[in-house]
């Protein structure tokens, strides 16, 4: 991805015009990737079984490769020597924990029950989606929206730790305890602590270590100027190549399930649309109220809005079966999340004008 402004002075039009052709037409590439995946999954017999034959943890190997290729360039861009300013920002960390682990799951629970009261399998699947906080694609959306890279790396790491230790407990609370208190139907589900841990270690740990070592060695060998002005522009596009490859494979794996049940997909999509809109909007408003500056506010909003659909799908399939309604709800997640969050990138860039430029709060805007 190409360089982006370091402060709030540029308009949305100027920011978009500054992007490369790959970045500027990302919505088009994503739509084409989704369509290609759906067509392949629907027309090529045995493709889904072949793609899912080898796994890392509970995730298909091709998807795992795509995610690693996608995340490595983004994490190689992070200035790790500046993450200390993020860990010391208690307002940002507190707001992120609230948005991700209190508001997000509670909102998805409420929407699932209000909008799918007659569809318990889909409802349960959506609640699981709400518990799986994003640790991958959010880095892409944050980068495109000129968010704070260092803040995104720290918040994703925090979410990963919470995901390992809190996912099972929150699943028990939202599927059994809270419905019981409210006189609603309860759902029994068991989550594998090991599969969640492996997911975090592989999809965050490997690219995080690789990105840190790449920057450390690159800067030591040739200096920061060469690293950021020469090396990163060559590495950057691979993040979007990985994203598009992941989308094609994901939708090829689930294409038959999506295209064979269009009305169910529509029902599942509605609460997801409301969820993404509300969480993103509240994240932007909360960042404004807390005076975080645009860059950190965008990071807060995107880390709160995104979900770890790979984990949600894996948990739903492992617990309820590959043909279950819960699994379909997990599959529909990225079908809605990807285009919606791409659109919210443009909303965030438009909203920059409502934030006062600040050298302290916006110093973490993208460097390259």
What is the domain-level CATH number for residue 338?
A: 1.20.1530.20
Residue 46 located in a structural domain: no
Non-local (6+) Cβ contacts of 97 within 8 A are 158, 162
Residue 230 located in a structural domain: yes
Total number of domains constituting the chain: 1
Residue 55 located in a structural domain: no
Residue 224 located in a structural domain: yes
> Tokens 């169910």 — which residue?
264
Domain that residue 180 falls in: 61-247+263-352
**Number of other residues whose CB lies within 10 A of the CB of residue 217:** 11
Nearest Cα residue to 15 out of 152, 140, 146, 150 = 146
Instruction: Tell me what pLDDT residue 251 has.
Output: 79
Non-local (6+) Cβ contacts of 338 within 8 A are 30, 34, 137, 247
Element (H, E) at 116: none
Neighbour-count burial of 241, counting CB atoms closer than 10 A to its CB (0-12 exposed, 13-18 middle, 19+ buried): middle
Q: What is the pLDDT of residues 198-225, one digit of tens each?
A: 766 777 788 888 989 999 999 999 999 9
Nearest Cα residue to 350 out of 3, 5, 21, 15 = 15
CB 2 within 8 A of CB 20: yes
Residue 4 located in a structural domain: no
Instruction: Tell me what pLDDT residue 4 has.
Output: 42
Q: Residue 310, by phi and psi: left (phi above 0), alpha (psi -120 to 50) or beta?
A: alpha
Q: What is the residue-averaged pLDDT of the chain?
A: 82
Residue 39 located in a structural domain: no
> For the ranges 254-268, 286-300, 347-361, which has the lowest average pLDDT?
347-361
Strand partners, 59: 56
CB 336 within 8 A of CB 276: yes
What does pTM read for this prediction?
0.77
Which pLDDT band holds residue 7 (cuts at 50, 70, 90)? very low
Q: What is the pLDDT of residues 232-289, one digit of tens each?
A: 889 988 888 888 888 888 778 777 777 777 888 899 999 999 999 999 999 999 999 9
Q: What is the pLDDT of residues 221-248, one digit of tens each?
A: 999 999 988 998 899 888 888 888 888 8
Query: pLDDT above 90 covers what percent of the chain?
Result: 34
Q: Above 50 in pLDDT, residue 182?
A: yes
Residue 347 located in a structural domain: yes
| Encoded tokens for 96 | 């992120």
Q: Above 50 in pLDDT, residue 367?
A: no
Which pLDDT band holds residue 123 (cuts at 50, 70, 90)? very high
Instruction: Tell me what pLDDT residue 364 has.
Output: 42
Residue 241 located in a structural domain: yes
Instruction: Tell me what pLDDT residue 6 has.
Output: 41
Q: Which residue has the higher pLDDT, 317 or 246?
A: 246
C-alpha distance from residue 282 to each of 22, 103, 167, 277, 305 (Å): 30, 10, 23, 9, 10
Q: Strand, helix or coil at 133? A: strand
């Amino acid at each position: 991805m190409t360089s982006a402004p370091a402060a709030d002075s540029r308009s949305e039009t100027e920011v978009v015009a500054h992007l490369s052709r790959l970045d500027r037409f990302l919505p088009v590439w994503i739509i084409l990737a989704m369509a290609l995946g759906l067509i392949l999954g629907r027309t090529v017999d045995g493709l889904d079984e072949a793609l899912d034959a080898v796994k890392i943890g509970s995730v298909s190997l091709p998807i795992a490769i795509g995610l690693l290729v996608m995340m490595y360039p983004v994490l190689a861009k992070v200035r790790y020597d500046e993450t200390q300013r993020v860990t010391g920002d208690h307002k940002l960390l507190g707001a992120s924990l609230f948005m991700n682990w209190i508001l997000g799951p509670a909102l998805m629970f409420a929407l699932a029950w209000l909008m799918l009261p007659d569809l318990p399998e889909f409802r349960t699947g959506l609640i699981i989606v709400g518990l799986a906080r994003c640790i991958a694609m959010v880095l892409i959306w944050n980068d495109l929206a000129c968010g704070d890279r260092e803040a995104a790396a720290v918040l994703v790491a925090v979410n990963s730790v919470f995901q390992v230790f809190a996912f099972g407990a929150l699943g028990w609370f939202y599927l059994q305890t809270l419905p019981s208190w409210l006189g609603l139907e309860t759902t029994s589900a068991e989550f594998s602590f090991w599969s969640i841990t492996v997911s975090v270690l592989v999809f965050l740990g490997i690219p995080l270590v690789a990105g840190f070592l790449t920057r450390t060695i690159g800067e030591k060998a040739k200096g920061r100027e060469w690293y950021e002005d020469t090396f990163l522009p060559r590495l950057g596009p691979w993040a979007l190549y990985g994203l598009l490859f992941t989308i094609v494979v994901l939708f090829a794996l689930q294409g038959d399930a999506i295209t064979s049940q269009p009305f169910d997909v529509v029902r599942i999509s509605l609460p997801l649309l409301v969820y993404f809109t509300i969480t993103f909007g509240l994240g932007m408003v909360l960042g404004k109220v807390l005076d975080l500056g645009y860059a950190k506010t965008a990071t807060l909003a995107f880390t709160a809005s995104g979900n770890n659909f790979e984990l949600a799908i894996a948990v739903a399939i492992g617990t309820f079966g590959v043909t279950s309604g819960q699994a379909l709800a997990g599959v529909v997640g990225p079908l809605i999340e990807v285009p919606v969050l791409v659109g919210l990138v443009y909303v965030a860039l438009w909203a920059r004008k409502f934030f006062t430029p600040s050298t302290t709060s916006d110093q973490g805007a993208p460097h390259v």
